[in-house]
């Protein structure tokens, strides 16, 4: 165990100058927003459509802020990224060296473990830098492996096709709401399933919500049919707009 501590510390010390150079070279701190797509394992950092940068990544693991647990990506069934199997190389390295933390799928932890794991991954999986995404409850620790040129990249073209270009929020996942829901209205918020910001969606699931009026119409029509859908006139918004609408519309005024 003591062996591991020394090893992890020396890996971390090794990573710091590499990471500093990486941040400097790509001006990483200058980007205010992030978006990542699990299917293509692409991270987009951006300020606007003209001011953006794309990286290929390997998801190393996640840290749950509520449960204070680490989970390796090879152990995580919820991750879409196909290249998460790369992290099995870290597990194998752990087995060879009897480093328990590298071979246990999930365990009580702190954020500091995550940085050590990134440092270890950076060498084993040949990363150019690392990045931590701060979700509401989950922190995603990503190893960046490659800069991608968006103009010549098929995956990014696909990514842009399946995202909405929102005037306020940039490229985001699509979401659907009835015509009555607005950013600051208070009209109720019925959803097709329980949602929270940043959650992963199954392939055929979409964020979708409608107001109280539409819910009455839907029940009157015995579900969604031509008549209730005509009343709702579902419109496309971005997922950030969706959750802003959820916030205001859930707090009904009656």
Contact 238, 172 (CB under 8 A): yes
What are the tokens at 118? 């990134």
Give the Cα separation of 161 and 213 in Å (integer). 32
Q: How far is the CB of 219 from Zn ion (least distance, A)?
A: 13
The phi and psi torsions of 195 (rounded to 5 degrees) equal: -130, 160
d(CA 11, CA 14): 5
Cβ of residue 250: shortest distance to Zn ion, in angstroms? 14
In this structure, are residues 12 and 20 in contact, taking their beta carbons and an 8 Å threshold?
no
Least distance (Å) from Zn ion to the CB of residue 44?
15
Q: Give Cβ neighbours of residue 178 (< 8 Å, ≥ 6 apart).
A: 209, 210, 211, 214, 232, 233, 234, 235
Nearer to Zn ion, 157 or 235 (CB): 235
Q: CB of 65: closest distance to Zn ion in angstroms?
A: 25
Which residue, 22 or 210, is less far from Zn ion as judged by CB? 210
Q: For the CB of residue 202, give the shortest distance to Zn ion in the complex, in Å.
A: 22
Contact by Cβ (8 Å): 80, 193:
no
State which residue, 56 or 180, has the beta carbon closest to Zn ion.
180
Minimum CB distance to Zn ion smaller for 75 or for 243? 243
- As measured in angstroms, the least distance from the Cβ of 252 to Zn ion is 13
CB-nearer residue toward Zn ion: 98 or 251: 251
Chain residues binding Zn ion by CB under 5 A are: 166, 168-169, 178, 180, 210-211, 214, 238, 240-241
Of the pair 118, 241, the CB lying nearest Zn ion is at: 241
- 190-191 and 207-210 as β-strands: parallel, antiparallel, unpaired? antiparallel
| Cα distance between residue 49 and residue 107, in whole Å | 39
């Amino acid at each position: 165990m003591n062996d591991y501590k020394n090893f992890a510390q020396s890996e971390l010390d090794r990573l710091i100058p590499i990471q500093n150079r990486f941040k400097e070279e790509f001006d990483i701190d200058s980007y205010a927003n992030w978006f990542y797509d699990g299917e293509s394992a692409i991270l987009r950092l951006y300020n606007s459509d003209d001011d953006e940068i794309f990286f290929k990544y390997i998801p190393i693991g996640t840290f749950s802020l509520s449960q204070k647990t680490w989970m390796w990506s090879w152990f995580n069934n919820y991750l879409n990224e196909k290249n998460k199997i790369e992290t099995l190389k870290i597990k194998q390295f752990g087995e060879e060296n009897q480093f328990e933390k590298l071979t246990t799928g999930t365990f009580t932890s702190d954020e500091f473990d995550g940085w050590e794991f990134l440092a270890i991954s950076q060498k084993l999986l040949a990363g150019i830098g690392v990045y931590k995404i701060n979700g509401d409850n989950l922190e995603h620790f990503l190893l960046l492996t490659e800069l991608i040129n968006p103009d010549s990249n098929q995956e990014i073209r696909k990514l842009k096709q399946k995202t909405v270009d929102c005037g306020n929020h940039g490229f985001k996942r699509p979401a659907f709401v009835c015509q009555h829901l607005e950013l600051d209205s208070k009209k109720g918020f019925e959803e097709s399933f329980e949602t929270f910001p940043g959650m992963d969606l199954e392939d055929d699931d979409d964020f979708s919500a409608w107001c109280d009026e539409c819910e009455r119409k839907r029940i009157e029509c015995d579900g969604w049919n031509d008549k209730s859908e005509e009343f709702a006139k579902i419109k496309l918004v971005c997922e950030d707009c969706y959750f802003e609408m959820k916030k205001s519309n859930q707090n009904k005024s009656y």
